[in-house]
Structure formats: structure tokens, C-alpha cells
């Protein structure tokens, strides 16, 4: 059983830990709402701006396991402060970026800072809070996710609409400085009791394997799942990543201080939780990315209006998360999680039913509130189930693995959803262009259709006011307004038809996640098993 370490004021510590976590989530939701503005502002394409999201997730996911274990070795407060400093500097660089490539590079640095920071929050919470109050602490931690979800789209929409999209990154700087001051003054310095040796080979194997898997998934659609460099293909990169990860797991079995202690997976609830966390992350990105683009590029919402459309989801999640955390302390998280993932999937299902060209803000408030109820019932119970019976000296490693799998799930979700969306959109643009071509003068019909059919090769430039196609050369000025209207109609109808099967993918993943929660052991049985596992090595040592 985890034994807590006394802190002078653990709730104040939780405030500053949550502030750092808040900054990470704030940045994610703000970036989602600003996708169309960044496409237009940097003259970039959808696939490039998706890399603004995915580059962060890639760096984040690749380094989380290493960063979590480093926290066990060198002290979580040190790593928390270092991650905050890197993330804050990187945020300023993101705001100063002059093109898509500079922004992607700065986002990679943000991912490094976020990876160093995030595992330390759960590690410190696990150590300083006793088991009977840990669910409440995780409830607050989960409520922070709800607040960040509220603040991100709304603040991001305000900044994009009334100032500039660059301020979605600059806003992290003061938050980061405040959190850094709190980390140095309030968060306890939990030092390891003995010197440790870092598993360098494990770091290299884990990093290379995760990079190959996620990079292949993210870039697969752009290269048509074929050749990328010379004879090297996307499937080969993914396969190499899988093989390297298998080698990593085998290698870790024989290490005295492994980067990823495989004993963690003897905890059944931990193993189930890491899979479910990846399903939730998949579902979140699978919801926000396509729906945000729909709001702004199809319905013509401003960034602020699009952000406010998500407000019921965020508010409900923020209110429900602490309650769910306390309930998981009292009753366990098994059935709370089943209900949470079911409600989240049901909310997305309602979006599929109501999404149309005639939709308004109010159309989505009910589905968003239901999805928010599900998310609020997921954050705290999932973390409590995963971390409750983790021993203190394993807390950093466990947190690193949990967050790694969550971010891998998010990266896979972003890659899969992006691929499905672009694939369906390419097909639908061609079909809709053919259907509408009868309204175009015969001399321009073929170029009208080919303009949409070739949109995929340009990465779908679907920013604010853009439809992915351009006026044919030589179009008479009097005909231009008609063609522009047809461009919008083709794109709008194509996107509606493409987004529905895209959302269905996320719903299916969440449904499997909900069923998986039925395998979670009840709290008493899981605690007894963990105590027995810990007593075995102690008895052998004595």
C-alpha cells in the first residue's frame, strides 16, 4: 500500500501542481480552437497545422516514461520546476513563430517541457496524500481539467477573435512564472533515499520505438501510407517501432532498475487504467479536432463563438469531477468509469445525429453537456484506480507510463481521426463537386471538379473562409461570385458527410473502453493483492 509523506499543507501543494497541469491542458484546448486562424495566419495547410498538435504530442509521449522515472531518481520537484521553465520559454517562442515550421519546432520544445512536468504532478500527489483522501485530491486535479477546458476554448476564442492567435501561447508565460515560483517555495523536495542509475539503453529503445509508431501514424496519410524516404515506407517505420518496443520490454525484464518496471503491470487495475486512459484521450481529440473545424470553416462561427459552444461540456465536467473523485474514494471507481465513458460516447453520438448545415450554437449544448458529464466522471476515478496501490518509489514510473499511454492514445487518435477525416473529405469533395458541376458553365466544369479532387494534395487548406479549392484560371468576373458560393456549398456538404463517420470511430473506441472497465477489481480485493505482493519481497529479505 502507498504510504504518504507528510507535507506542511498538501492542499496548497496541490494548487501549484494543478496550476502547472492547468497550463498544459490550457495550451492544448487553445490550440484546437485556433486551428483555422493559424492555417490562414501562417498560410499553412491542414496537415501542417495538425503537426502543430501532433509534434507536441509526439515529443510529449516519447519522453514521458523517461521523465517519470527521472522524477523517482532525482526528485519530482526538481523535474517539475525544470519542465515548467522549459514549457514557459517554449510558449513564448511559439507566439513569436513566423511560419509553420518555426511553430512546429517550438511546439516540440513545449512537448519536452510538458513531458518533464506532467508525471511529477501525479507522483507528488500520490506520495503526500493518504489513500482515503487521494480520490478527493485527484478530483480537484480532474476539476482543473474541466476549468482548463472552459478557459481554453473561451479565452482562446476571445484572443483569436479580438487580438491575435499568437496570444494563445503568450498567455502561458505569466501562468508558468507563477507556477514556477510556487514549485520552488511550496512544493516539498522529495529526494530519493539512495543513488540510482539511469537505464540509458532503455531510454533510447523506448524513445525510438514510440517515435517510430507515432510518427508513422501521424504522417501516414500525407504519404498515402507508402514511400517516405527512398526505399523506406510508412508501414516499415511503424513496424520498426513495434519491434523496438518489444525489444525494450524484453530488455527491461533483466534490469535491476528498469526505466519501466514491469511489476507495475501485475497490478490489474493499473493495466486496465492505462488502456482506458488512451481510449479517453483518443475520444477527446477525435471530438475536438473535426468539430472545431466544422464550427468555424462550415458554419462560419468566430473562434470565440466556437469556444462558447463547448462551454456546457466544460462547465459540467468541472462540477462533476470533484464529486466523482469523492465517490471513487467511498465506493471505488469501476462503475463510475463505465458510466462516464458511456455518457461521453453518447454525447458524441448525439453530435452525429444533430450535425447539419442548419445547426446553431444551441444545437450542440445538450450533446456537449452529456459529453462533459462523461468526462467529469472519468478524470479522477481513472487516476485513482490506476495509482491507488502503487508503491511510493514507483509513483513516478507509474505516472510516466500512465501519461505516456494517454498521450500515445491522443497521438494515435489525432493521426487516425486526421486520416479518416481527410480520406472521407477527399472522397466527398469529389462526389459533391460532380453533383454541383451541373450549375457551372460547361467550359469550367472539368476544372471545377478537378480543383476539389486535387484538394487533398494541397493538404486541405480549410482555414477561415477557405474551402480547399481555388477559382479556375480565366473565370469571368461576373461568374466568380457564383463559383465562390458553389465552392462553399460543395465544401460544406462534403464536410458534414465526412465528419459523421469520423466521429463514429471515436465512439467505437470509447464503447470498447467502457466495457473494459467492467474488468476492474473492487478496491478491497485490489488493495489486498497489492499488500500481499509487497509483503512477499519484505519476507524474503528478512
Which residue is associated with the grid cell 511503424? 238
Summarised one tens digit per residue, pLDDT across range 85-117 is 999 999 999 988 888 888 889 999 998 998 898
Summarised one tens digit per residue, pLDDT across range 408-430 is 787 778 778 877 888 888 888 87
Report the alpha-carbon distance of residue 203 to residue 67 in Å, rounded.
10
Residue 142 pLDDT more than 70?
no
Summarised one tens digit per residue, pLDDT across range 153-187 is 777 778 888 888 888 889 889 988 998 988 888 88
First-last CA distance in the chain:
19
Q: State the chain's mean pLDDT as an integer.
A: 80
Percent of the chain with pLDDT over 90: 20
As a whole number, mean pLDDT of residues 498-509 equals: 92
Q: What pLDDT is stored for residue 87 in this prediction?
A: 95
Q: What pLDDT is stored for residue 333 in this prediction?
A: 83
Cβ atoms of 60 and 115 within 8 Å: the answer is: yes
Report the alpha-carbon distance of residue 15 to residue 22 in Å, rounded.
10
Lowest mean pLDDT among 310-319, 479-488, 501-510: 479-488
Q: What pLDDT is stored for residue 503 in this prediction?
A: 92
Among 198-202, 253-257, 515-519, which range has the highest average pLDDT?
515-519
Cβ atoms of 32 and 289 within 8 Å: the answer is: yes
Q: What pLDDT is stored for residue 166 in this prediction?
A: 87
Burial of residue 450 (CB within 10 Å: 0-12, 13-18, 19+) is middle
Report the alpha-carbon distance of residue 190 to residue 333 in Å, rounded.
29
Report the alpha-carbon distance of residue 162 to residue 267 in Å, rounded.
50
For 166, the grid coordinates are 499568437
Report the alpha-carbon distance of residue 351 to residue 349 in Å, rounded.
5
Q: What pLDDT is stored for residue 463 in this prediction?
A: 44
Q: What pLDDT is stored for residue 472 in this prediction?
A: 56
Lowest mean pLDDT among 208-217, 374-383, 399-408, 490-499: 399-408
Q: What pLDDT is stored for residue 188 in this prediction?
A: 81
What's this model's pTM, rounded to 2 decimal places?
Answer: 0.76
Ordered DSSP codes for 233-268 = EHHHHHHHHHHHHHHHHHHHTT-SS-SS-GGGGGSH
Using alpha carbons only, how large is the chain's radius of gyration in Å?
24
Cβ partners under 8 Å of residue 345, min gap 6? 283, 374, 506, 507, 510, 511, 514
Res. 455 pLDDT band, cuts 50 70 90? low
Q: What is the DSSP letter of 226?
A: S
Q: What is the DSSP letter of 467?
A: -
Report the alpha-carbon distance of residue 275 to residue 283 in Å, rounded.
13
The 10 Å CB-count burial string (b at 16+, else e) for 204-221 is: ebbbbbbbbbbbbbbbbb
As a whole number, mean pLDDT of residues 370-380 equals: 88
Residue 534 pLDDT more than 90?
no
Q: What are phi and psi of 259, to 5 degrees?
A: -65, -40
As a whole number, mean pLDDT of residues 333-362 equals: 93
Among 15-19, 308-312, 332-336, 503-507, which range has the highest average pLDDT?
503-507
Residue 267 pLDDT more than 70?
yes
Q: What is the DSSP letter of 232?
A: E
Report the alpha-carbon distance of residue 402 to residue 385 in Å, rounded.
11
Report the alpha-carbon distance of residue 117 to residue 113 in Å, rounded.
6
As a whole number, mean pLDDT of residues 363-368 equals: 94
Residue 208 pLDDT more than 80?
yes
As a whole number, mean pLDDT of residues 213-228 equals: 76
DSSP H or E stretch at residue 228: strand 227-229
Q: What pLDDT is stored for residue 374 in this prediction?
A: 93
Of 32, 33, 36, give the one whose Cα is nearest residue 468: 36
Among 20-29, 377-386, 507-516, which range has the highest average pLDDT?
507-516
Ordered DSSP codes for 289-309 = HHHHHIIIIIS---HHHHHHH
Res. 2 pLDDT band, cuts 50 70 90? very low
Cβ partners under 8 Å of residue 139, min gap 6? 321, 322, 323, 324, 325, 326, 328, 380
CA neighbours within 13 Å on the CB side: how many for 428? Answer: 23
Amino acid at each position: 500500500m502507498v504510504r504518504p509523506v507528510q507535507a506542511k499543507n498538501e492542499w496548497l501543494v496541490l494548487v501549484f501542481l494543478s496550476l502547472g497541469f492547468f497550463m498544459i491542458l490550457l495550451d492544448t484546448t487553445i490550440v484546437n480552437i485556433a486551428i483555422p486562424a493559424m492555417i490562414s495566419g501562417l498560410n499553412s495547410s491542414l496537415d501542417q497545422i495538425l503537426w502543430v498538435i501532433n509534434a507536441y504530442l509526439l515529443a510529449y509521449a516519447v519522453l514521458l516514461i523517461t521523465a517519470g522515472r527521472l522524477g523517482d531518481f532525482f526528485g519530482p520537484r526538481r523535474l517539475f520546476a525544470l519542465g515548467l521553465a522549459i514549457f514557459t520559454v517554449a510558449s513564448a517562442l511559439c507566439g513569436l513563430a513566423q511560419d509553420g515550421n518555426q511553430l512546429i519546432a517550438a511546439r516540440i520544445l513545449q512537448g519536452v517541457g510538458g513531458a518533464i512536468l506532467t508525471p511529477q504532478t501525479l507522483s507528488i500527489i500520490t506520495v503526500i496524500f493518504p489513500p482515503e483522501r487521494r480520490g478527493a485530491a485527484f478530483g480537484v486535479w480532474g476539476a482543473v481539467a474541466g476549468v482548463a477546458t472552459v478557459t481554453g476554448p473561451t479565452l482562446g476564442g476571445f484572443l483569436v477573435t479580438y487580438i491575435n492567435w499568437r496570444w494563445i501561447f503568450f498567455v502561458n508565460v505569466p501562468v508558468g512564472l507563477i507556477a514556477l515560483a510556487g514549485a520552488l517555495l511550496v512544493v516539498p523536495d522529495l529526494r530519493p533515499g539512495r543513488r540510482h542509475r539511469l537505464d540509458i539503453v532503455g531510454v533510447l529503445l523506448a524513445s525510438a520505438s514510440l517515435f517510430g509508431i507515432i510518427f508513422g501514424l501521424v504522417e501516414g496519410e500525407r504519404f498515402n501510407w507508402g514511400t517516405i524516404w527512398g526505399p523506406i515506407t510508412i508501414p516499415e517505420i511503424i513496424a520498426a517501432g513495434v519491434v523496438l518496443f518489444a525489444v525494450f520490454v524484453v530488455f527491461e525484464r533483466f534490469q535491476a532498475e528498469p526505466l519501466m518496471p514491469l511489476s507495475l503491470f501485475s497490478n490489474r487495475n493499473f493495466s486496465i487504467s492505462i488502456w482506458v486512459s488512451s481510449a479517453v484521450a483518443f475520444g477527446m481529440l477525435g471530438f475536438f479536432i473535426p468539430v472545431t473545424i466544422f464550427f468555424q470553416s462550415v458554419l462560419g462561427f468566430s473562434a470565440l463563438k466556437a469556444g462558447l459552444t463547448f462551454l456546457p461540456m466544460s462547465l459540467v465536467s468541472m462540477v462533476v469531477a470533484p464529486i466523482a473523485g469523492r465517490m471513487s474514494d467511498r465506493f471505488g471507481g469501476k462503475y463510475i468509469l463505465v458510466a462516464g465513458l458511456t455518457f461521453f460516447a453518447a454525447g458524441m453520438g448525439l453530435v452525429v445525429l444533430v450535425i447539419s448545415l442548419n445547426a446553431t450554437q444551441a444545437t450542440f449544448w445538450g450533446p456537449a453537456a452529456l459529453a462533459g458529464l462523461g468526462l467529469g466522471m472519468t478524470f479522477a476515478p481513472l487516476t485513482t484506480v490506476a495509482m491507488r496501490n502503487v508503491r511510493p518509489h514507483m509513483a513516478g514510473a507509474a505516472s510516466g507510463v500512465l501519461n505516456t499511454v494517454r498521450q500515445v492514445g491522443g497521438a494515435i487518435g489525432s493521426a487516425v481521426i486526421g486520416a479518416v477525416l481527410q480520406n472521407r473529405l477527399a472522397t466527398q469533395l469529389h462526389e459533391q463537386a460532380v453533383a454541383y458541376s451541373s450549375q457551372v458553365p460547361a467550359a469550367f466544369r472539368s476544372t471545377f471538379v478537378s480543383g476539389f479532387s486535387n484538394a487533398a494534395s494541397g493538404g486541405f487548406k480549410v482555414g477561415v473562409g477557405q474551402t480547399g479549392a481555388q477559382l479556375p484560371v480565366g473565370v469571368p468576373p461576373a461568374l466568380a461570385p457564383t463559383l465562390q458560393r458553389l465552392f462553399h456549398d460543395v465544401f460544406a456538404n462534403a464536410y458534414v458527410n465526412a465528419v459523421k463517420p469520423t466521429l463514429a470511430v471515436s465512439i467505437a473506441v470509447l464503447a470498447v473502453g467502457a466495457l473494459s472497465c467492467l474488468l476492474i477489481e473492487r478496491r478491497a480485493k485490489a488493495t489486498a493483492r497489492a499488500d500481499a505482493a509487497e509483503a512477499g519481497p519484505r519476507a524474503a529479505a528478512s
